[in-house]
Amino acid sequence: MALPPRLAMLSRVHLADQADHTLDIQYYLFHNDETGRAILAAAIQAAERGVKVRLLLDDMDTPGLEQYLVRLADDYSNLQVRLFNPFYLRHFRSIEFLARFPRVTRRMHNKSYTVDNIATLVGGRNVGNEYFDILTDVSFSDFDVLVAGSAVPKFTQSFNNYWYSGLAFDIAKVSQAASDTDYQQWQQQASNDLQKLRKLVEHHKQDIDYYLTNNQDKRYLSTNTRAIYDPPDKVISSLFERDKDNMTHDILAVMDSAQQELWISSPYFIPGKEGMRLLRDLRERHVDIHILTNSYASNDVPAVHAAYMQ
């Protein structure tokens, strides 16, 4: 089931409120803005009432937020924060891109929000105002899928693979804590942001409940589910190594299984020689192929579009 942007954000707050035992949060980008602070504040409140909260972030987007995460992890015993593939040079990252290429460019793009190992939100949406159409002129049209039931442990296993990979470090070991004054100001701002979102949650509670629980219009599909993800140690593999465990092979196998139709929606579409060969084979088998990707005007990475144009 796909969620509209604002309801996707409000649903995260609502799910944190419903958590009884665990809340696992994994993201590539997690902004220090109204949305990011509010979602963090909701997770902190869950930790205060005894929920075990694990926050796993890629280190690409942590400047400006990491010092507060250090304090939060220290203040709340039920909150653990780890950074995946952290930068060594905390204040000179551009230099590290040159010194530690390609490892420093290998990032964790996984995105999941899993409650009590029974429901998870997965998809392409990071955490930030522009991903939820909140207080911004820029909006990314990403998708979330709400998964519930027996499939969810597969996504928890993915989270655990990264959490215990040895490539995710306790944030206190790589970052410095914020000062008392800055931390108190940040906490107040996060509390205010969450309060505003809670008013929206209450205002849209009927819609949220409808999207999360109503199946009368077949928003949910009951089916076997497979979780496909890269191994975390991909980030330390050789630049030219073609690992058999790379998810690319699984994705190509799924595509190749198409009998009648193949639908692809991706912001970055560069099929390469192997992908083009597969698409030609599918076309020769009379499989209808539908591809939706960004135009140059809507693409935030021009280099990707330049490669796609070929």
Give the pLDDT confidence of 19-63 residue by residue, as tens digits. 999 999 999 999 999 999 999 999 999 999 999 999 999 999 999
For residue 235, what pLDDT band results from cuts at 50, 70 and 90? confident
Full residue range of the structural domain in which residue 269 is found: 246-308
264 and 145 in one domain? Answer: no
Domain end (from 213, 233, 264): 213
Residue 209 in any domain: the answer is yes
Query: Of 7, 5, 3, 13, which is closest to residue 190 (Cα–Cα)?
Result: 13
165 and 53 in one domain? Answer: yes
For residue 121, what pLDDT band results from cuts at 50, 70 and 90? very high
Residue 227 in any domain: the answer is no
Most confident of 55-69, 88-102, 241-255, 295-309: 55-69
Cα–Cα distance, 134 to 129 (Å, whole number): 5
Task: Provide the CATH number for the domain around residue 160.
Answer: 3.30.870.10
Is 143 a residue whose pLDDT tops 90? Answer: no
When pLDDT is averaged across residues 263-291 and rounded to a whole number, the result is: 94
Residue 230 in any domain: the answer is no
Give the count of domains, the chain. 2
Cα–Cα distance, 253 to 246 (Å, whole number): 12
Is 216 a residue whose pLDDT tops 90? Answer: no
172 and 108 in one domain? Answer: yes
300 and 151 in one domain? Answer: no
Percent of the chain with pLDDT over 70: 94
Residue 34 in any domain: the answer is yes
Q: Which of 51-60, 182-191, 271-280 has the lowest mean pLDDT?
A: 271-280
161 and 102 in one domain? Answer: yes
Is 218 a residue whose pLDDT tops 80? Answer: no
198 and 255 in one domain? Answer: no
Residue 241 in any domain: the answer is no
Residue 278 in any domain: the answer is yes
When pLDDT is averaged across residues 160-174 and rounded to a whole number, the result is: 97
Domain end (from 163, 198, 213): 213
Query: Between 19 and 2, where is the model more confident?
Result: 19
251 and 209 in one domain? Answer: no
Cα–Cα distance, 220 to 217 (Å, whole number): 8
* C-alpha Rg value of the chain to the nearest Å: 20
Statement: the pTM of the whole predicted model exceeds 0.85: yes
Phi first, then psi: what are they for 121, rounded to 5°? -105, 120
Domain end (from 197, 213, 229): 213
156 and 21 in one domain? Answer: yes
When pLDDT is averaged across residues 91-97 and rounded to a whole number, the result is: 80
Residue 221 in any domain: the answer is no
268 and 203 in one domain? Answer: no
For residue 3, what pLDDT band results from cuts at 50, 70 and 90? low
131 and 76 in one domain? Answer: yes
Residue pair 167/150 in contact by the 8 Å Cβ criterion: no
Most confident of 16-20, 195-199, 222-226: 16-20
When pLDDT is averaged across residues 236-259 and rounded to a whole number, the result is: 80
171 and 33 in one domain? Answer: yes
123: CB partners within 8 A, 6+ apart: 111, 142, 143, 144, 145
With b for 16 or more beta-carbon neighbours within 10 A and e for fewer, the 83-102 pattern comes to bbbbbeeeeeeeeeeeeeee
Residue 142 in any domain: the answer is yes
Is 125 a residue whose pLDDT tops 70? Answer: yes
In order, the DSSP letters of the chain are ----HHHHHHHHHHHHHH-SSEEEEEES-B-SSHHHHHHHHHHHHHHHTT-EEEEEEEGGG-TTTHHHHHHHHHH-TTEEEEEES--SSTT-HHHHHHHTTTGGG------EEEETTTEEEEES--BSGGGTT-S-S------EEEEESTTHHHHHHHHHHHHTSSSEEEGGGTSPPPPHHHHHHHHHHHHHHHHHHHHHHHHTHHHHHHHHH--TT--S-----------GGGGGS-TT---TT-HHHHHHHHHHT-SSEEEEE-SS---HHHHHHHHHHHHHTT-EEEEE---TTT-S-HHHHHHHT-
269 and 202 in one domain? Answer: no
